[in-house]
Amino acid sequence: MTTPNPLELSAAAMRSLVQEALDRIVAHIESLPTQTVSDTEGGFAVAESLAEAMPEGGAPVAELLDLFFQRAVPPTFNTASPGYLAYIPGGGLFQSAVADLIADATNRYSSVYAAAPALARIEMNVVDWFREIVGFPPAARGTLTSGGSLANWTALVTARRERLPADFLKGTIYTSDQSHYSVAKGAILAGFPEGNVRMVATDDRYRLRVDALAERIAEDRSQGFTPFLIAAAAGTTNTGAVDPLPELADLAAREGLWLHVDAAYGGFFLLTEAGKRAMRGIERADSIVLDPHKGLFLPYGTGAVLVRDGEALRRAHSLTGDYMPGMQEDPDRVDFSQYSPELSRPFRALRVWLPFKMHGAGAFREQLEEKLALAHLAADRLRAMEGVEILAEPQLSLLAFRLAPAGVPESKLNPLNQRFLDRVNARQRVYLTATRLRGRFAPRICVLSFRTHRDRMEMALEDIAAAQREVLGA
Ligand SMILES: Cc1ncc(COP(=O)(O)O)c(C=O)c1O
């Protein structure tokens, strides 16, 4: 008689495991509206108590799940909460979590077309929907990554391989002083010296200044550098600023530069009319990064890069081995391993495909329109409050502001606003974070979760008003 293999679960054991997990997941999600939003008290102690040696034997699953849900999850930034208005919110669609379970349980090899043609086709469809959203031509290709950082890096490597010789160290990259640090990091990881990344000044709305950029390009050329790529932002992390894309596309065309657009935060607002207006010209880019784990509310772990000339993406990544099955010649049969730095990877497409097919793009558009409206509502109400200064009006669903009461000198405003922000967050109904804008400490509100609605924005505004009264001693 063979001994049973504990790693191979019976049908009953699989059902029971999923049920144990599901009971806790549903309870967790249902209680999100009343959970704290950023109470990390005791989190370090829990973390330290969890350090452990590799277990030789097993433990009951209920105990393990309780440890995770009761001890590990609570003392965290609650990124799934409707009150999470910090950084760039994610969300975490349950539909995508189920898709992950299915993708992992079936565990097929979707990076090689011949190994799972229909799965590769599903990923091709997802990439093609994204292509349509940004307005790229049918010859564009793309790939799903783990997030925006890897997507920015993939775009930079593609541009470098396409536009520069093997000795590329004279190549220079231009981005604004507001761009996400993953652009500079991507350039460094693509092999460029750190000093070749030019941080160009921005205007009063934190958008890249095309005049300053043109000057810097000319100066670099005169010094023997090879300007080759502009990395614009369609929604910066600091203020949601959208760089002047039509002017940048004109300049890139005149100068023969690759135009990359980091639309990790803003890109999916292209599903809305207001977003299309704000990001007009994005379709003229050579490459674009989108982050479904931001603008499509997916759980963390999905970014996307799209390249106008799909062949350029393939040329930059196509390499195979004698031990592999044959790669496809037909461009309509995509081997994603030939368009991506990854070979083995999770089947990410299903976590986009399932919710998109279940609900349609319209459901996402409605949610995104609501987020834009909520950011404008917040800006209007803050503007009307005495002693509040809007530092960055919403260009999409993000705004920055601060308390600037009459008579308080500039030198006192940063610590005052830090105390104010701490008071807002102490209420644990919303979580806001701040940035620095030209030296000014600037609390920001970023609305992007499918769980955030008007009621929560009203709570945010109430808590802001109460915190203002507290720090001003009114
Ligand atoms: C504009 C922008 N680009 C890139 C990134 C990096 O994306 P990820 O965190 O998915 O790597 C972010 C993250 O917030 C972002 O806001």
Tokens of 214: 């043109």
Is the pLDDT score of 2 beyond 80?
Answer: no
In this prediction, residue 331 carries a pLDDT of 84
Residue pLDDT, tens place only, 193-213: 999 999 999 999 999 999 999
What is the average per-residue pLDDT within 379-395? 98
What is the average per-residue pLDDT within 42-66? 97
107 with 115: CB under 8 angstroms?
A: no
In this prediction, residue 312 carries a pLDDT of 98
| Residues with a CB atom less than 6 Å from ligand 1 | 88, 147-149, 180, 182, 233, 237, 262, 264-265, 291, 303
- SS3 (DSSP) at 109: coil
- Find, among 96, 144, 102, the residue nearest to 120 by Cα: 144
239 with 88: CB under 8 angstroms?
A: no
d(CA 104, CA 89): 25
335 with 113: CB under 8 angstroms?
A: yes
- DSSP string covering 162-196: HHS-S--TTEEEEEETTS-HHHHHHHHHTT--GGG
Is the pLDDT score of 3 beyond 90?
Answer: no
What is the average per-residue pLDDT within 165-189? 98
To test the ligand 1 pocket, which listed residue (146, 177, 180) has its Cβ within 8 A of the most ligand atoms? 180
Radius of gyration over every alpha carbon of the chain, rounded to an integer in angstroms:
24
Is the pLDDT score of 284 beyond 70?
Answer: yes
β-sheet bridge partners, residue 445: 399
In this prediction, residue 87 carries a pLDDT of 98
d(CA 329, CA 314): 12
What is the average per-residue pLDDT within 306-333? 94
To test the ligand 1 pocket, which listed residue (88, 396, 448) has its Cβ within 8 A of the most ligand atoms? 88
How many percent of the chain have pLDDT more than 90?
Answer: 97
Pairing between strand 440-446 and 398-403?
antiparallel
- The CA–CA distances, whole Å, from 404 to 175, 298, 346, 439 equal 31, 37, 48, 14
313 with 160: CB under 8 angstroms?
A: no
To test the ligand 1 pocket, which listed residue (84, 181, 237) has its Cβ within 8 A of the most ligand atoms? 237
d(CA 403, CA 471): 10
Pairing between strand 258-263 and 287-290?
parallel
Is the pLDDT score of 226 beyond 80?
Answer: yes
pLDDT band at 252 (very low <50, low <70, confident <90, very high): very high
Residue pLDDT, tens place only, 411-444: 999 999 999 999 999 999 999 999 999 999 999 9
What is the residue-averaged pLDDT of the chain? 97
d(CA 189, CA 187): 5
Lowest mean pLDDT among 113-122, 328-337, 360-369: 328-337
Query: Which spans in 384-435 are helix H?
Result: 410-426
Residue pLDDT, tens place only, 443-465: 999 999 999 999 999 999 999 99
pTM for this structure? 0.98
What is the average per-residue pLDDT within 120-141? 98
Tokens of 459: 């709570």
Q: Which atom of ligand 1 is found nearest the CA of 266?
A: 1
pLDDT band at 1 (very low <50, low <70, confident <90, very high): low
